[in-house]
Structure 1
Amino acid sequence: MTDVFTGVRLLGPPETDGEYIALSEHETVHLHEYTRIYAVPGLYEHVVQDRLRCRSPQVAAAGFLRAASLLGLEPGSLTVLDVGAGTGLVGELVRDGGVGQVVGVDALSAAREASLRDRPGVYADYVVGDFLRPDTLREALHPYSPGGLVSAGAFGGTHATPPALENALALLPPDAPVAFTIDERWMDESDPDGFGAAVERLVAAGRLAVLERTRFQHRVTTTGEPIFYQLVVGRTE
């Protein structure tokens, strides 16, 4: 697969004003232009996982499996929500770890199409929706009775905001294992609109118990600079 992408180049400052990918001599796209990138089988994994050394999927999946173990749960008995499922790598990892059933959720129909194309059979269902508008999602997910949540990089920044995290957790029963990764820039508790403050509110309200919170290198930029995220592992209350 790598040979197919030998012409793909990573671009960044000062050559551009952000992180871009040169797909060919005639086409350059932003790293977060997911619809275009997902349209090419394997391209997202080649760029983000292989070239930029992204570790969030592996870290989030391992964190979720640790949470299930700490809570004495058998992974095979769980139906897990994969929030911001993308092309399905996290779902594949937790399934490989023994989780019985995974339901993917992503705001982009292009992500659903790419996942079903590249990883058929990983998800029991893959729902297109936004946790900022949870009513439709609640109806679609109700038949599955989700008992856990995993998410790699879907929350924060230009992606889902703190209310989306709160709405997603609200779909789970008590004592459900959860694991999610978020850019550390969004985890500053002094920012009332950030995820750090949101996590503290969830803990104070008795909705989330944090079992583990660690810093790790999420990936590198297109110019090789490290980007750090935090992993939050917990259980609903």
Structure 2
Amino acid sequence: MADAFAGVRLLGPPVTDGEYIELSEHETVHLHEYTRIYAVPGLYEHVVQERLQCRSPQVAAEGLLRAAASLGLEPESMTVLDVGSGTGLVGELVRRGGVAKVVGVDALPAAREACLRDRPGVYADYVVGDFQLGDGLREALSPYAFGGLVSAGAFGGTHATPRALVNALGVLPPGAPVAFTIHEQWMDEADPDGFGVAVERLVADGRLELLERTRFQHRVTTTGEPIFYQLLVGRTG
């Protein structure tokens, strides 16, 4: 597969608007132009997982499995919600870890199409929707009795908001394990609208108990600089 992408070059990041990928001499796309990148089988994994050494999927999946074990839960009995499923790597990893059933959610139809093309059978269902919007997605997920939540890099920045995190946790029963990764800049507790404050409120209100909070290298930029995220592992209250 790597030979198929021999001509792909990583560019940037320009100061103004981030990182780019040169697909050919005729086409350059932004790293977060997911619809275009997902359209090419294996391209996202080649660039983000292999070239940029992204670790969030593995870190989040392992965090969820640790939380389940610490709570005495059997993965074989769990239905897990995967928020921001993308091409399905996280779902694949938690299924390998023994989780019985995974339901994916992503705001992009292109993500669902890519996942069903590249990883058929990983998800029991894959719903296109946005937790920021709330009720419609909640209704679509109502047939499932979720016992856990996992998310790798879906929260923060131009992705899902703190409100989306609150809404996603709201579909879980008390005592369910959760694991998600967020860029450390969005966890700045000085930002009243950031995830740091949102997580503090969830903990203070008893809606989330943190079991782990660790810093790790999420990936490198297209010029090789490290990007650090936080892994938050806990259980719902």
Provide TM-score, normalisation by structure 1.
0.98
Equivalent residue, structure 2, for 1:152: 152
Q: Identify unmatched segments of 5+ residues in structure 2.
A: none
Distance, in Å, in 1 between the alignment partners of 2:17 and 2:73 is 47
Distance, in Å, in 1 between the alignment partners of 2:183 and 2:15 is 25
Distance, in Å, in 1 between the alignment partners of 2:14 and 2:115 is 34
Structure 1 window deviating more from structure 2 (6-15 vs 81-90): it is 6-15
Distance, in Å, in 2 between the alignment partners of 1:207 and 1:197 is 14
- The CA deviation at 1:190 is 1.7
Aligned residues: 237
Q: Identify unmatched segments of 5+ residues in structure 1.
A: none
Task: Specify the SS of the correspondent of 2:35.
Answer: helix
Equivalent residue, structure 2, for 1:208: 208
CA RMSD between the two structures: 1.1
Distance, in Å, in 2 between the alignment partners of 1:137 and 1:73 is 27
The question of whether the paired residues in 1 share the 8 Å contact of 2:60 and 2:151 is answered with yes
- The CA deviation at 1:13 is 3.8
The question of whether the paired residues in 1 share the 8 Å contact of 2:22 and 2:29 is answered with yes
Equivalent residue, structure 2, for 1:35: 35
The question of whether the paired residues in 1 share the 8 Å contact of 2:215 and 2:229 is answered with yes
The question of whether the paired residues in 1 share the 8 Å contact of 2:13 and 2:20 is answered with no
Distance, in Å, in 1 between the alignment partners of 2:82 and 2:29 is 26
Deviations 1:17-47 (A, max 9, x none): 5200000010000000000000000000000
The alignment status of 1:86 with 2:86, answered yes or no, reads yes
Q: Give the residue type in structure 2 aligned to 1:83.
A: V
Task: Specify the SS of the correspondent of 1:80.
Answer: strand
Q: Give the residue type in structure 2 aligned to 1:55.
A: R
Q: Give the residue type in structure 1 aligned to 2:202.
A: L
Provide TM-score, normalisation by structure 2.
0.98
Equivalent residue, structure 2, for 1:190: 190
Q: Residues 15, 21 of structure 1: CA spacing in aligned structure 2 closer, same or farther, 3 A cutoff?
A: farther
Q: Residues 17, 178 of structure 1: CA spacing in aligned structure 2 closer, same or farther, 3 A cutoff?
A: closer
Structure 1 window deviating more from structure 2 (10-19 vs 210-219): it is 10-19
Equivalent residue, structure 1, for 2:116: 116
Task: Specify the SS of the correspondent of 1:154.
Answer: strand
